[in-house]
Homo-oligomer: A and B are copies of this chain.
């Protein structure tokens, strides 16, 4: 059918419906996934008047028009990271964009673009077999892994829906026969295990099949998408989201993967809501969808970067497409929220649908501030009983200070052996960092941009994190299967008092015969320039062990309270396994007693003041030894090593002063806090004494029993003195 005939048919159709208003005529076409006529009107009304909508529209139009300006290419499949691979990825993005532009502008060139591309896919796709370069992954036919193919389908389903009624029945028959049927069969019949697997790959598979199912009105596909290939609820979307997210919406793989999973999660949820509203998907499991989205947003630093736990890049942020979509969608589906406006402010765009239009209107009318998130604890595990993730925050907007601790599940194959690991954000940057993954993503010469061997040998290992390593062996011996069977434990979390916030967690199943409790405080005090951290890490064992307490930092060492011996002429690694083989031992010391080390990180000084004990060893260390291909980043860390049965590492991290090299200003290069001493600890409590300049003095206590309760009184006696407090902790300033 040529264009003229198509136009003729349209006129006939319009003629036949002359008794209806244009509005109701348009409404006759029920789009399954795409913009309704009302949404199209809403957006067009805002164009040129509303900044966010106009910017978002222009940028989409520019990208789409560029795609239309070059030759369509549907090449034979290629390897990961190759031109062919990237071309197919770009193709689905372009088709989806063209679908939106077609709906918004009604300009048929966009529809024609989708048709021309689908024609080529329909010609090639039936001829393809499994991709030959799948390595260890389930293959697609276009892509080396099935995952990419499900992403292709999820986007293409949306493009197809946008032009569905514009296409001829012959076109539709062609695409369904030669692309969609084969593809859905590939996913659900040929690879049902991958389809039903509880994993973000499974979620993509389910969502993509469900969405194309709605478009072509194949309820069989939709049902498999919802309930699994066996339609028994053991697989499929509902099982996926029930099991991948905790009841608090915390995503077990971490935020980097959550933002990726948000795309199938939200697009399919919205498709369900549109097509099967009776499922009340947005109310499912006490609004799990809302919680999951907000949990991902809250797993960010104040600049919008996701906290990079597990295998994650350090720079992925809320500009990711799923988050932009979700910000618009949640604002509409669950009601206005100033923090979402703040998020949109960082994103500087909205999703082009009715939800985005609604958000953009409010954004224009309100005074928008950067989001200020509250301190929060997420429960982990599908039952919410497998530990959690704690976030203490103070300050406002992008100047918040953030202290985060991880004490949940391992997190599947992207998990790290890092329970009780903490990260600290201050001065608008991560000052006690997480390494993230060892991967130069999409950089072809770095092993095709895939995970590098050092991801396993360094990034996943316990010593690559800020948590104690026992006997220089990683948690659960670095074995994923062992780690999957256990989890950290929530102990207490109190953020009511904005001046003294505290979280405490345990990990008792990560080293045989050793139990660990870490308690982290985020404290504001007028005597100090900035909020500071108090860390009380208690280890308990019947037998003797070596305990290594690492602090990864950034910047340059300025001063120490103690002498150390520098390995000036010869560097050796600190060990030969579990990540220690990657650490150069630059200098060592035996401080014996409480001490401190100060480093400069950009414009601020940081001092780590630690408790001492006889026979302690202190290492100044740096990556990356045994890195024959320069895959690792060179970064410094300190390690405090203690041998014993029961031990408490108590310390303070104090940010202080100011340095500006350009203006040659420097203030308060020395910390105020100068000493941290463990007075005593037993199974009731730990008592720590903190001392500073100008006679500053605090006593800190932590409850070590098994029944945390904010109302119960505790009392311990150490060194002839009795310390009493009510509840799970106390932090008392003496002067």
Partner of A558, one of B440, B557, B600: B440
The answer to the question of A627 belonging to the interface, with a C-beta cut-off of 8 Å to chain B, is: yes
Partner of A669, one of B444, B558, B628, B661: B444
Partner of A569, one of B559, B573, B659, B670: B573
CB pair B449 A666 closer than 8 Å: yes
The 8 A CB mask of A428-454 against B (1 = contact, 0 = none) is: 000000000000111111100100000
Chain B residues with CB under 8 A of A314? 661
The 8 A CB mask of A598-642 against B (1 = contact, 0 = none) is: 101000000000000000000010100111111001101000000
Across the interface, name the chain B residue whose C-beta is closest to A663: B319
Chain B residues with CB under 8 A of A440? 556, 558, 600
Interface residues of A in 397-453 (CB under 8 A from B): 440-446, 449
CB pair A666 B600 closer than 8 Å: no
Across the interface, name the chain B residue whose C-beta is closest to A666: B442
Partner of A666, one of B441, B566, B620, B625: B441
Chain A count of residues within 8 A CB distance of the other chain: 50
> What is the CA–CA distance of A314 and B664 in the complex, to the nearest angstrom?
11
Do A319 and B662 form a contact, CB below 8 Å, given A570-B572, A600-B440?
yes
CB pair A443 B669 closer than 8 Å: yes
CB pair B570 A442 closer than 8 Å: no
Chain B residues with CB under 8 A of A662? 313, 315-317, 319
Do A669 and B445 form a contact, CB below 8 Å, given A319-B662, A628-B568, A662-B317?
yes
Chain B residues with CB under 8 A of A319? 662-663
CB pair B630 A443 closer than 8 Å: no
Across the interface, name the chain B residue whose C-beta is closest to A439: B661
Interface residues of A in 556-584 (CB under 8 A from B): 556-559, 566, 568-573, 584
> What is the CA–CA distance of A313 and B659 in the complex, to the nearest angstrom?
13
Chain B residues with CB under 8 A of A661? 313-316, 441
Tell me the A residues contacting B by CB distance below 8 Å: 81, 313-317, 319, 440-446, 449, 556-559, 566, 568-573, 584, 587, 598, 600, 620, 622, 625-630, 633-634, 636, 659, 661-666, 669-670
20 new A-B contacts at CB < 8 Å, known A441-B666, A557-B629? A313-B661, A315-B661, A315-B662, A317-B662, A440-B556, A440-B558, A440-B600, A443-B558, A443-B659, A444-B666, A444-B670, A445-B598, A445-B669, A556-B630, A566-B627, A568-B625, A570-B570, A571-B571, A620-B630, A622-B634
